[in-house]
Amino acid sequence: MAEIAATASKRDVGRGRGLVAAIAWRSLWRNRRRTWLTAGGIAFGVSLVVFSMAFQAGSYGDMIYNATSFLTGQVQIQRADYIELSRFEQTIGDATETLRRVEQQAGVLSATARVEAFALVSVDERSFGAQVLGVDVERERQVVNFFDRLSRGRVMAGPDETVIGSGLARNLNADLGDEIVVLGSAKRGGVAAMVLDIVGIFDSGISELDRSLLFVPIAAVQNEFGLGDEVHTIVVRTQVDDSRAVVEALGHQLPEGLSVRNWDEVLPEIRQGIDVDRLGGMFMYAIVLMIITFSIVNTFTMTVFERLREFSMLKAVGMRPGKIVLMVQIEALLLWAIGVGIAMGLMVPLLAWLQSSGIYLGEAIVELAKQYYITDRIYPALGPASLLAAPAVMLAATQIAAFASSLRIYWLRAAAGVRAAE
C-alpha cells in the first residue's frame, strides 16, 4: 500500500484524482481471478444482449422492407371510408391528378394506382370468387417487386391478359393460355364481364393471395367496371425510414376525405409481431442483466469487506470517505470498461462479418419465416441502439452496485476498522 502510494505520488504530485485512479487500477489487479470472472460476467451479458438486439433489429428491418416491398408499398392512399368498408364505389376521383401530386412530394420514390373489384371468375364449368386487381405493371415494378417473381409465364402486355395466383389456377383447373371469364358488378349496377387470357401465374408463398388474386391491366378494369378516372388505392414507395414523414406531408397536401396510411397501419400484424417479439426480448435482457448485476454487487461486497482494514487505515491517516468511495467507483468503471471492451472486441467484428454472410435459419424455420416476410438468412443491424443499450445499462448497474457496497465506508470508524479486521 505504502509502496503503491509512493510510486503513484511520484507521478501525480498534487493530482489527487490521478492518484485515486492509479490506486483503483492496481486494486483491481490484486485479485485477478475475481476481476476476470466479474468482467467475464459483464462481457457475457453485454455480448448476449448486443448480439440478440443486433439480430432483432436486422430481422425487423428485413421484415418491414420485404413485407412492404412485396405488394402493399410503404404508404397507401385511399378514400377514408374505403379502408373500413372496401365498397367498390368508394374511389379516389381525379386519380391522374392525385397521382401526379403524390409523385411530386419529396421523399416519394415512385407511386402507382390500383383498382380493386370482387368478381366471379370461371374457366369452363368451374367458378370461384376472386379479387381482381387492376394495375399498371410498368408503374408497379417501380413500387413493389411482386411482378419480378412470377413462377411461370410473363406479365400482362395487352388489355385482354391476366396473371393469376397459383392456388386459383389449381382450383379452376386452369393453365397458361386458357381463357378465363370474369363477372362482376359495375359501379352503376350493370354487369361487368371480361374474357381474358392467362399469360402468367404467380406463387407468392402466401396461400391467401395465391388462392384469391388475379391481376388485370388497370385501364381494362376501369373501362369494364364503369369507373372513369377513378382508383381505389394509390401505393407509394419510400425509404422505410422516410415513410412516416411522407405520410405527414401527404396528409396535409391531399384533399379532405382521403386517408394516407403508413405501412404499420396497413399491415398492423407486422408492427404488432415486432412489438411482441421486442417485449419478449426485453424481458430476457432484463433478467440476464439483473443476474449479472447481482454478481457485480457480490464482487464489490467481497472487495470492500476484504479491504475494510485498508480503508480504515486510509481514513485514519486523513483520507476523506468521499475519496475512498470515489476510488471504489473508479474501480467499478474500470471493471465495466474491461467487460464491455471484451464484449465489443468480440461482438463488433463478429457482427460485422455476419452482416455480409448472415445466418442460415435452417429448413424448419424457413417455412415459418416466410409468412413473416423473413428470407432464409437473417442479418444483424449494427445501429447505435443495439450497440449501446447494454453497455449503458451495465454502466449504471456497476456504478450502483459499487456505491451500494461502499456506503459502509462512511460509517466505518477509523480506529475500530483497523482493530476489527485484525
Min dist CB 353 to another protein, Å, is 22
CB atoms closer than 10 angstroms to residue 171: 18
Residue numbers of the site for another protein (CB under 8 A)? 33-34, 37-38, 40-41, 44-45, 48, 85-87, 118, 120, 125-131, 170-171, 173, 184-185, 212, 268-276, 283-284, 287-288, 290-292, 294-295, 297-299, 301-302, 305, 364-365, 367-368, 371-372
Q: Is 179 helix (H, G, I), strand (E, B) or coil?
A: strand
Min dist CB 23 to another protein, Å, is 21
Q: Which residue's CB is nearer to another protein, number 73 or number 165?
A: 165
Min dist CB 272 to another protein, Å, is 3
Q: Is 339 helix (H, G, I), strand (E, B) or coil?
A: helix
Cell numbers of 343, please? 464484449
- Nearest one of 296, 298, 319 to 1, comparing CA atoms: 319
| Residue 275 main-chain phi, psi, to 5 deg | -60, -45
Q: Which residue's CB is nearer to another protein, number 175 or number 269?
A: 269
Min dist CB 48 to another protein, Å, is 7
Q: Which residue's CB is nearer to another protein, number 22 or number 57?
A: 57
Min dist CB 297 to another protein, Å, is 6
CB atoms closer than 10 angstroms to residue 100: 11
Min dist CB 290 to another protein, Å, is 6
Q: Which residue's CB is nearer to another protein, number 107 or number 184?
A: 184
CB under 8 Å, gap of 24 or more: what pairs does 192-195 form?
192/117, 192/119, 192/224, 192/225, 192/226, 193/224, 194/160, 194/220, 194/221, 194/224, 195/160
Min dist CB 289 to another protein, Å, is 8
Min dist CB 165 to another protein, Å, is 12
Q: Which residue's CB is nearer to another protein, number 171 or number 243?
A: 171
- Nearest one of 218, 215, 228, 159 to 187, comparing CA atoms: 228
Q: Which residue's CB is nearer to another protein, number 10 or number 188?
A: 188
CB atoms closer than 10 angstroms to residue 156: 22
Q: Which residue's CB is nearer to another protein, number 83 or number 326?
A: 83
CA neighbours closer than 13 Å in the CB half-sphere of residue 376: 6
Within the chain, how many helices (H) and strands (E) appear?
Answer: 18, 12
Q: Which residue's CB is nearer to another protein, number 131 or number 204?
A: 131
Cα separation, 240 vs 74, in Å, equals 7
Cell numbers of 400, please? 450502483
